[in-house]
Structure formats: C-alpha cells, structure tokens
Chain A
Amino acid sequence: MHNVGRAARSLWFVALVGALIEQSSAFTIAIAPGPPPTVYLQIGVGTFTGGSYSTGGTPGNNATVNTVSVSVPAAAVGNQTAQAMTTDSAVSASSYDGRTFCTAPTQLYVGGFFRRPGNGGGSSATLTASVPASLIDDAGDTIPFSQISWTSSGIGDSGAEPFPSGTFTAAGTQSIGTIDRNQWAESCWTFSYANTIFPAAGTYTGVVLYTLTAP
C-alpha cells in the first residue's frame, strides 16, 4: 500500500509538469551583429550630401587634392624665420555640424570618424601620413619634407587635439593622430616652412598621403 501511494504521487507530479510544457512556446527574432566598421576621413575638402554629419548628411568620396604652399621672398630665403603657409582649401566649417571651426585659407581642416559595434577589434583608428623624402623642383633640386611642420587647433576647442601639432618625418610613414571608437574627431592645421636652408630658386612640390586605418 505504501509503494502504491508513492507511485500515485509521482504520476500526479509528472502530469502537472507535462501540462506546463505542453503550452510552452516562444517566437524568436535573429539580430545580426550590426553595421560593418565605418571610417571617414577628410583632409581639406570633403563631401557631405544632405547636410552636415550631425544633421543626417551622408559622407561621400571626394577626389580633391588640396595644396598647402608658401612663396618665400628671395631676401628671406634661409633666414631662419618660419614662413606661414596657406591652403587652397576654402573649408572653414566643421563637417560634423557645419559650425565655423577653422580659418581658411591659413588653416587646413582635418576630420573624420570611426564607428564599430561590439567590444572587440581595437578601440581607435589611426591616421598616418606617408611622406616622401623631399619636395622637388623641375631641376631636381630638393627641400627635405622635415622643413614643414604644423600646429593644431580649432575654434572653441580646449585640451588636446585629436590630430596634434607635428613636423613631417622625411621618407617615412608617421602617426598623425587617432580617432577613438564611435567618435568624431577634427582639428585645424596651420602649416609653416622652417626656412633654415638655402635651396635653389624654383617651385618645389611633394605629395603627402594620409591614411585612416581602422582595426
């Protein structure tokens, strides 16, 4: 009799659990990890369609290569007095929100962003510059790129700039700054020529290639 009673209780319990399981159901939605990593870099002129970034504008490609230049008077060549350079970029507005951020043409705008979902894969994108050894004129005369430097600022900015002041390292790739994950970063560069050497008269040119690399 005792064994029969235990069996009856067990059956009752199983029946109850069975009733609960019978009703169980749930629908499922699969969610993908999110958009792919996105980077945007603008040195000088850039393209946003439909407004600035903060107002929903969409960044686009822009093939413009801006020039930074200076003409050193003959009497001043090599006099150790740095010569301010200007740019042909007319961009003074932040591409983030359109506010006046730089002073063109004495400053060159640089800005961009790096976005990536998740926690893995690094916390910042790195901006580098690939710098030739020299600027060269038609006669093959040269000026070392290390004669050119820049200061970094921005109207209304305080604290460290994301793309700080520096001097070109001739014939190399140098780090220019970083953009933290899910951040917009921007600075204004004012270039100058050190004017500590005596090159031959001529027009010297060289191209620096900037690259933003996301992890």
Chain B
Amino acid sequence: MRAMPRCVFVLILAVALPAGAKTTVIDDSGTLPYESTLALHWQQLSPRPPLNNLLTGTVSVRVRLNLAPWLRRSGHIYLRLPAQQPGPMTISWTTQGRLLPGAISTGSRTLVYAGPITAPFIEDVLQLTLNVDAARMQQIYHVNFIFEMDED
C-alpha cells in the first residue's frame, strides 16, 4: 500500500525530464560583476531614422562556478537569461578562454562549456555587452543570469 504512491511519483518525474538531460542550476555564488552598476549609452549617437534606439553597455564579470557535484563527470554548461524586466535584451560576451564566448537573448540560453568536469570550480572573466531598447529603461533594473548544467 505504501510502495504504490512512490512509484507513481517517480514516473511523473521521469516524464518531466528528458532522459539523460537533467538540468541543474549551478552554484555561482562566487560570480560578481566588477562594477556595481552598468552605465548604458546610446549604441548609435545618430537619432535620425531609421532610428536605432538601443542603449548598450559593457561590464566585466568574474565567473566562478561550483562544479563539485559533477566532478569527474561530463556535462554541458549553459548561460541562461530568464525573461524579466526591462523586457527583451540581447547579451553578448567574450571570455578569457575557459568558457566559450557567445550571445543570448531574453528567455533563452547559450552553451558556454562542454566536456569533462575535472576541477571543483571553473573560473573565467566575461566581458558582457548588454543591449536594450531605450524606451524600456524607466528605472534601474537588476538583470539576473543563471548558469545551468546538463549532465551527459
């Protein structure tokens, strides 16, 4: 009588997650931007049509990911930009080589590492460039990023 409900629960869980692609949020509590606030400027000074109304800014971020739970295993690490205020944004970045450079838009994720996890931490410095429509910038916003691990 007690065993049956557990089996049902496990089956539901198995359906919700694709086989072999368990996604886990990585502990990135050691990750910090070098500047407390990213100052944006006009991407294109010219205000004449066709109007480019984007604001842009670049910030350096020291990334430190705790990969101890996956040590001596393999996986894919993604950087996710969840849907949030101030709305649609595009982010691109360069790295110092430990992680992959790339780009991302709001609501999606991009691969930054694939391969074996050989150390409990992975560190890099990202130069993040953020673009956002100036019309959406009504106030200061805190943009959240998430690193995710897909275990192989």
Contact = CB atoms under 8 A, between A and B. Distances in A.
Interface of A: 1-2, 4-5, 8-9, 12-13, 23-35, 53-54, 56, 96, 113-115, 117-120, 182-184
Interface in B1-36: 1-2, 5-6, 9, 24-29, 31-33, 36
Contacts, number: 126
A53 B38 contact: no
A162 to B, nearest CB: 12
Given A96-B48, A118-B134, A182-B134, A27 B61 contact: yes
A53 B144 contact: no
Interface of A is mostly: mixed
Contact of B27 (A23, A29, A114): A23
Chain A to chain B: the 7 pairs with minimum beta-carbon distance, closest first: A117-B134, A27-B31, A5-B2, A184-B48, A117-B137, A182-B47, A30-B37
B37 A32 contact: yes
B143 interface: yes
A8 B136 CA distance: 49
24 contacts: A1-B1, A2-B1, A4-B2, A9-B9, A12-B9, A23-B26, A23-B27, A23-B69, A26-B25, A26-B144, A26-B145, A27-B28, A28-B143, A29-B130, A29-B145, A30-B141, A30-B143, A31-B137, A31-B140, A33-B138, A115-B42, A115-B47, A117-B135, A183-B48
Interface in B78-132: 86, 128, 130, 132
Given A5-B2, A117-B55, A27 B135 contact: no
A33 B9 contact: no
A36 to B, nearest CB: 11
A34 B38 CA distance: 9
B2 A8 contact: yes
B38 A32 contact: yes
Given A24-B25, A29-B143, A120 B40 contact: no
